[in-house]
């Protein structure tokens, strides 16, 4: 049974032990942790050393962004109170033992919202203005006049109504797109989207509300911005893609497993949809033999949509704010509802 904390406050012991789980690189300015007057021991480890380093740890900073090492080492977490993830998505941490524990999980919600919104806007413009073909023709030194598409009055459907989805919606609306969204349940009067459709391919929800079944055929751009949960895993499948119109493009900046890759490959190959821009994949890095690299209308990027200059420093500042709150016994920000797998609200 999941036991979410009744409060967002976690009381730290005096001079707690902090463990930093990192990949190839340490956090920037990590000396600020080493010299922090409120901390006792500060230990750094990679996934290989996690089991040995966990005992006695009070707080864990997961700086290895997509690691799943904690699940196999969980039995060693004998004193853990707080985990902070240097990511927005925390699907890699939502294993049953952690979900059922009293350990509080926070994430880095808010750091990437505007960065990703700018990236999505760039993708929409690149598709509409045929930039990829212009660059290819330039390399070939070919002068080939073409007409491009307008983006004003085009329809965008954003799957996911969290902060990233809302930032995307505001950015696209500002340049003239008509924006709608789908979320966990259908509703009217949303401050950013107006009508929100349920993220289901049923023709109607149980209470008669509208779903993606009605929304998808009207969209020119479908942007996936939802967290990876049991409800969204495999959401973009053959049925989903067949509801899109042939001139529509799919953009995924969320998590790879939300899209069934084999179904998307077929849709692009058969031109069921006009294109797809993918920043996330089922398996990363994307192997050189993967067909998505070379399919018509496919644009592949290496999980970088939110990574602007200074993003690591922003993540560190957010953690330091959380650490100050933890040490002072104040309310933590960005507390994940472990039953849902994301920060609610």
End-to-end CA distance of the chain: 22
Percent of the chain with pLDDT over 90: 94
Cβ proximity of 41 and 18 under 8 Å = yes
User: In the structure encoding, which two tokens stand for residue 87, read together?
Assistant: 């990511």
Sheet order of strands, 82-85 included: 42-45, 18-21, 59-62, 82-85, 104-106
CB 1 within 8 A of CB 10: no
> What pLDDT, on a 0 to 100 scale, did the predictor assign at position 7?
60
Contacts of residue 281, Cβ cutoff 8 Å, sequence gap at least 6 = 256, 261, 290, 292, 303
- Does residue 45 register a pLDDT over 50? yes
Q: What CATH number belongs to 113-300?
A: 3.40.50.720
Q: Does domain 18-110+309-328 have CATH number 3.40.190.10?
A: no
Write the burial class of residue 326 (CB in 10 Å: 0-12 exposed, 13-18 middle, 19+ buried): buried
Mean pLDDT of the chain: 95
Cβ atoms within 10 Å of 187's Cβ, excluding its own? 16
Place of tokens 């993606």: 212
Is this model's pTM higher than 0.85 or not? yes
Given a cut of 80, whether residue 5 has pLDDT beyond it is no
Where are the chain's structural domains?
Answer: 18-110+309-328, 113-300
Is 18-110+309-328's fold the same as 113-300's?
A: yes
What pLDDT digit, counting tens, does each position of 185-244 carry?
999 999 999 999 999 999 999 888 999 999 999 999 999 999 999 999 999 999 999 999
Confidence band, pLDDT 50/70/90 cuts, at residue 6: very low
Per-residue pLDDT at 332 exceeds 60: yes
pLDDT of residue 206: 87
């Amino acid at each position: 049974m999941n036991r979410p904390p009744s409060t967002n406050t976690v009381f730290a012991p005096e001079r707690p032990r902090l463990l930093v789980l990192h990949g190839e690189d340490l956090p920037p300015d990590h000396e600020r942790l080493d010299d922090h007057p409120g901390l006792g021991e500060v230990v750094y480890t990679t996934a290989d050393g996690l089991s040995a380093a966990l005992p006695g740890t009070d707080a864990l900073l997961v700086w290895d962004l997509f690691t799943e090492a904690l699940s196999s080492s969980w039995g060693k977490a004998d004193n853990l109170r707080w985990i902070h993830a240097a990511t927005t998505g925390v699907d890699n941490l939502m294993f049953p033992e952690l979900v059922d524990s009293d350990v509080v999980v926070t994430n880095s919600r808010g750091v990437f919202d505007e960065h990703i919104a700018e990236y999505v806007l760039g993708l929409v413009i690149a598709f509409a203005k045929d930039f990829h073909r212009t660059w290819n023709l330039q390399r070939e030194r070919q002068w080939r006049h073409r007409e491009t598409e307008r983006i004003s009055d085009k329809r965008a459907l954003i799957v996911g109504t969290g902060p990233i989805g809302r930032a995307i919606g505001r950015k696209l609306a500002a340049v003239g797109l008509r924006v709608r969204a789908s979320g966990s349940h259908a509703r009217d009067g949303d401050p950013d989207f107006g009508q929100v459709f349920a993220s289901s391919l049923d023709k109607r929800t149980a209470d008669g509300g509208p779903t993606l079944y009605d929304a998808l055929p009207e969209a020119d751009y479908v942007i996936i911005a939802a967290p990876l949960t049991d409800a969204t895993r495999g959401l973009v499948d053959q049925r989903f893609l067949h509801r899109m119109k042939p001139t529509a493009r799919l953009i995924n900046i969320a998590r790879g497993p939300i899209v069934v890759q084999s179904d998307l490959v077929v849709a692009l190959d058969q031109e069921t949809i006009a294109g797809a821009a993918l920043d996330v994949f089922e398996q990363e890095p994307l192997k050189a033999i993967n067909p998505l690299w070379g399919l018509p209308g496919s644009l592949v990027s290496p999980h970088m949509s939110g990574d602007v200059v200074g993003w690591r420093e922003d993540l560190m500042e957010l953690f330091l704010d959380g650490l100050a709150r933890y040490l002072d016994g104040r309310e933590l920000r960005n507390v994940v509802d472990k039953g849902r797998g994301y920060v609610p609200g």
